[in-house]
Amino acid sequence: MTLRKPSRLGRGDVIGVISPAAAVPAETLRRGCTELERLGFSVRVGPHALDRHRFLAGTDSDRAHELTAMFHDPEVRAIFCSRAGYGSGRLLPLLDFPALARTQKIFLGFSDVTLLLNAFVQQAGLVCFHGPVVAGEFATGFSPRSLSHLLGVLMTGTGEERLAFPTVIRDGVAEGWLLGGCLSLLVTTLGTPFALDPTGVVLFIEDVGEKPYRIDRMLTHLKQAGKLDNLAGVIFGSMSGCLGDSNDPALLLSVIADVFDDYSYPIGFGLPAGHGGENLALPLGTRVRLDTTQRHLTFLEPAVL
C-alpha cells in the first residue's frame, strides 16, 4: 500500500478549521484558534464552522462542501477539525475521494472523525492524523509532551520515535500500516463501503466511557465480521472510563484477551492516545512496528514530506 503524504507544516502556514460533525460553541472555538495563532500559524475558519442544524454543525451538504473546499484551497496547508461529537459518517457518501486524493494535505481529528480518517487512508490513499481538535486540547491546554509530539509529527514528520505502553496482552513483534481510532465508530462502518480492510494493519483501538460488556459486544461484532482476521497486530489506547463499576482493569483486559484468543499477533494496551490522558498524535497510513516484548510502538517513516 503506497499512500500520498502531505507537505510539512511551517510557521505562518494557513490552517483551515472545519466542523464536520457536531455543533461547536463559538467561544471554545475562538480560544482554540487563538492558541493556533500563538503557535505561529494563520487560521482560516470555515464559513459554516459555527453553523447549527439540529445537533450538527450545519447541514450535511454544507459540511461536506466546506471540507472539500478546504482541500482544494491552495492557500490552506492543513485542515484541523474543530471538534467531533457526532456526524462525520453522514459526509462519507458526499465526498469525492479520487478528487481529494489529488490535493493531499494534513488532516487532523479524532473520536467521531475516525470515520473520515480511515476513509481518507483507504478510499483516497492519503496519510492523515489521529489527534487533538481545535475546540478540545487547543482550547483547554496540552501537556508539553503532547504539543511537542504533535508539532514534530506535522512540521518535521517525526515526533517521538516510539511511544511506550504499559500492558502486554500477547507478546510478539509485528510491522504494518497504522489504522483505527474510536472502537464504537469503527463498528458503525460494518456493512458499508467504508468498513475497515484489516490486511496487514496494526489496528489502534480506543474509546471512552464504554462499559466492559459493551467493549466485548463491539469487539465480537468486528470479529464475527472478519475484521480482526489478517491483522498484523493490535494496540489499545488508555480506554478512559471503560473499566466498569469496579474500576478494575482486570475485567476489561480479560474481555480483550478472550476476544482475541483465536489470533497469534501481538496485542498491547495503554498507548497514550485518544480520549483521556495525553492524546499523542498518530499518523494513520504510515508504517509502524508494534513490539509488545519491549512495549513500544515505533514509527518507521516520516509522516509528511
Active-site residue set: 111, 206, 275
DSSP letter for 45, please: E
Cα 134 to Cα 201: distance, rounded to the nearest angstrom:
28
* H/E stretch holding 83: none
* H/E stretch holding 300: none
Neighbours of 96 (CB within 10 A): 12
* H/E stretch holding 111: none
* Cβ-based burial of 51 (10 A; exposed 0-12, middle 13-18, buried ≥19): middle
Measured CA to CA in angstroms, residue 168 lies from 8, 196, 291 at distances of 34, 24, 10
Please, are residues 300 and 175 in contact by the beta-carbon 8 Å criterion? yes
DSSP letter for 4, please: B
Measured CA to CA in angstroms, residue 302 lies from 111, 116, 282 at distances of 23, 21, 11
Neighbours of 136 (CB within 10 A): 23
Helix spans in the chain (H): 26-38, 60-72, 97-101, 114-124, 137-140, 144-155, 183-188, 212-224, 249-259
Cα 274 to Cα 98: distance, rounded to the nearest angstrom:
28
Cα 116 to Cα 80: distance, rounded to the nearest angstrom:
12
